[in-house]
A = this chain, B = another copy of it.
Amino acid sequence: MPSDTVTLPPRDEAAVAGVIDTLRGQMGDRVQTGAAIRAQHGHTTTWLATQAPDAVVFVRSTEEVQAVVRACAAARVPVIPYGTGTSLEGHLNAPAGGISIDLSAMDQVLEVNAADLDCRVQPGVTRTALNTYLRDTGLFFPVDPGADASLGGMAATRASGTNAVRYGTMRDAVLGLKAVLPNGEVMTSAHRARKTSAGYDLTRLMVGSEGTLGIITELTLRLHGIPDSISAATCAFPTVEDACNTAIEALQMGLPVARMELMDALSVKAVNLHSKLGLPETPMLLLEFHGSAAGVAEQAESFGLIAEEHGGQGFRWTANPQERNKLWQARHDAYWAFHTLMPGLKSVSTDVCVPISSLAECVARAREKAEGMDLTTPVLGHVGDGNFHMLVPLQEGDPDQMRRVKGFLGWLAELAISYQGTCTGEHGIGQGKMPYLVAELGPEAVAVMRAIKGAVDPLNIMNPGKIFDLGNAGPLQT
């Protein structure tokens, strides 16, 4: 059974006050304790209640992060790293109070090595800022989670997005990193070689560790050459299953699709309402192909043939940039269209990911279940990865609806697990998905995570109360 128990460090008001005093002495008014700033830094975009930190420190350097961590370690006060605040699972909440370290001012691109297709950045650089910086180099950074998140936060949550099917996730994008450890020292996980077998893969351990093992203060990222040509395509399908089977066949053929997004009929209806697009209200795939001019034409046409075999209708493709944007407008507007469809409601985004052969069935069962619970939930899917998001409407202040939403989220996580999938493809566990981690991986894996946490952060000061309850965080017992 999943457990809701969380082991938090004891709260010591005097210790917190002492740390704030110490930090004020070092950083002056870059240490803020106003209620609005604190609430904003514990803000969460989900159904989880805000749990504000005791103070926010706006750091400018790795040395300052070290100073904060050392002060907090000495006083056993929690530290919570903050990038742009776009987390969806309560990663930024401070359930035991503590100091939020705002890294947004560490926003420098330190180095671009064009010949090596890599760069070194501070954690507060956002993905669009990096791509703006790179615009004259012929290179780009592909990972695109939608939000203009900070690269440090994207690494910490192992984010991905629409083009992971071609370019991978933050797991693949980070060559190495520097992180301030819970003891205040700075660790280098790897340098700039494109591959390495040198010891434990600490890069990948830190990527997705959600601030619980250290604070990332520098990233070495892999870049890609901007393709000569980009083509986009859209196609309508009779059913979600037809769309998924088309996607599966394209991947099996080795078609190097760069993006392959699914919208269900309800999502299409929402964007029709919102953007007056007049699209047929059936499931739809949106695609992007990267390569040479001849290559992207060939890819789009090959895809069109596969789609036709699976009942695809109205297949269109173009390599013209303006036309491309028009074809993709439905996807770009999807999030906002939700609010047109359900005015006045917030939404919670689910994030399950399953083997792609189970995607259609999983989506169908989830839709049916949601309807049975009187929840209207448009579906957006990164279909090449088997990852899909349902936008579940949230009526704040309606406990019955909240109970149904929570019930649905738990049911959906278990459904994904039953398909050998995961409760989270790209948003992370945070607070919101803690109940499902043991159900997904079993107690043995979680015991290893706890043992690692206990060994790297024995005082439990690093973003406590996230990912798993601490339980016995000591060495594995024989």
- Chain A residues with CB under 8 Å of chain B are 73-74, 113-118, 138-139, 157-160, 164, 168-169, 171-172, 181-202, 204-205, 207-209, 213, 224-228, 248, 251-254, 256, 290-292, 294-295, 298, 302, 351, 353-357, 384-387, 416-417, 420-429, 433, 437, 440-442, 444-449, 451-452, 454-459, 467-468, 474-478
Shortest C-beta distance, A477 to chain B (Å), equals: 6
Is there an interface contact between A444 and B197, defined as CB atoms closer than 8 Å?
no
Q: Which residues of B contact A298 (CB under 8 A)?
A: 292, 294-295
A187–B73 touching, CB < 8 Å:
no
CB distance from A246 to the nearest CB of B (A): 12
Please give the distance in Å from A70's CB to the nearest CB on chain B. Answer: 8
| Residues from chain B with Cβ under 8 Å of A446 in the complex | 199
Taking a contact as CB atoms under 8 Å apart, the answer to whether A420 and B160 are in contact is: no
B454 engages A452 (CB within 8 Å): no
CB distance from A199 to the nearest CB of B (A): 5
A428→B192 contact, CB < 8 A? no
Whether the Cβ atoms of B452 and A452 lie closer than 8 Å is yes
Query: Given the interface contacts A225-B254, A478-B459, does A197 sit within 8 Å of B208 by beta carbon?
Result: yes
Contact A445 B188 (CB under 8 A): yes
In the bound complex, CA of A197 to CA of B452 (Å): 17
Is there contact, CB below 8 Å, between A198 and B478?
Answer: no
Given contacts A191-B422, A197-B424, A452-B455, 11 further A-B contacts (CB under 8 A): A181-B476, A187-B442, A188-B442, A193-B387, A193-B420, A194-B355, A194-B387, A197-B208, A200-B467, A205-B452, A295-B295
Bound complex: CA A62 to CA B118 (Å) = 41
Chain B residue numbers with a CB within 8 Å of A292 are 298, 302
Chain B residues with CB below 8 A from A425, complex form: 193, 195-197
Answer whether A228 and B254 are a contact pair too, CB < 8 Å, given A116-B356, A442-B187: yes
Q: A181-B476, A193-B354 are in contact. Are A444 and B188 (CB under 8 A)?
A: yes
Given A183-B476, A441-B189, A478-B183, decide whether A171 and B115 contact each other with a Cβ distance below 8 A: no
Are A198 and B386 in touch, CB under 8 angstroms?
A: no
Copies in the complex: 2
Residue of B nearest to A249 (CB): B115
Known: A456-B448, A477-B183. A205 touches B195 (CB 8 A): no
A428 to B445, CA, bound (A): 24
Q: Which residue of B lies closest to A351 (CB)?
A: B197
Residue pair A357, B116 in contact (C-beta under 8 Å): yes
State whether B189 touches A445 (Cβ < 8 A): yes
Sort A-B residue pairs by CB-CB distance and give the 7 closest, nearest first.
A204-B204, A455-B455, A225-B254, A115-B357, A451-B455, A458-B475, A187-B444
CA distance A184 to B478 in the complex (A): 7
Specify which of A183, A188, A193, A204 lies most central, judged by the most chain B CB atoms within 10 Å of its CB.
A193
- List of B residues within 8 angstroms of A172 by Cβ: 168, 172
Q: Are A208 and B202 in contact (CB under 8 A)?
A: no
Which of A209, A254, A457 gathers most chain B CB within 10 Å? A254
B202 and A357: CB pair below 8 A?
no
Nearest to A424 among chain B residues (CB) is B197
- Which one of A172, A420, A421, A451 has the highest number of Cβ atoms from chain B below 10 Å of its Cβ? A420
Contact A421 B451 (CB under 8 A): no
Shortest CB-to-CB span from A48 to chain B, Å, is 17
Q: A476–B183 Cα gap in the complex (Å)?
A: 7
Asked if A248 and B420 sit within 8 Å, CB to CB, the answer is no
Which residues of B lie under 8 Å from residue A198 when comparing CB positions? 422-424, 429, 433, 437, 440-441
Contact of A253 among B201, B225, B254 (CB under 8 A): B225
Q: In the docked arrangement, what's the CA distance between A423 and B454, Å?
A: 30
Q: Could you say which residues of chain B place their CB within 8 Å of the CB of A254?
A: 224-228, 290-291
Whole-angstrom CA separation of A442 from B189 in the bound complex: 9
Are the C-beta atoms of B190 and A422 separated by less than 8 Å? yes
Chain B residues with CB below 8 A from A191, complex form: 417, 420-422, 440
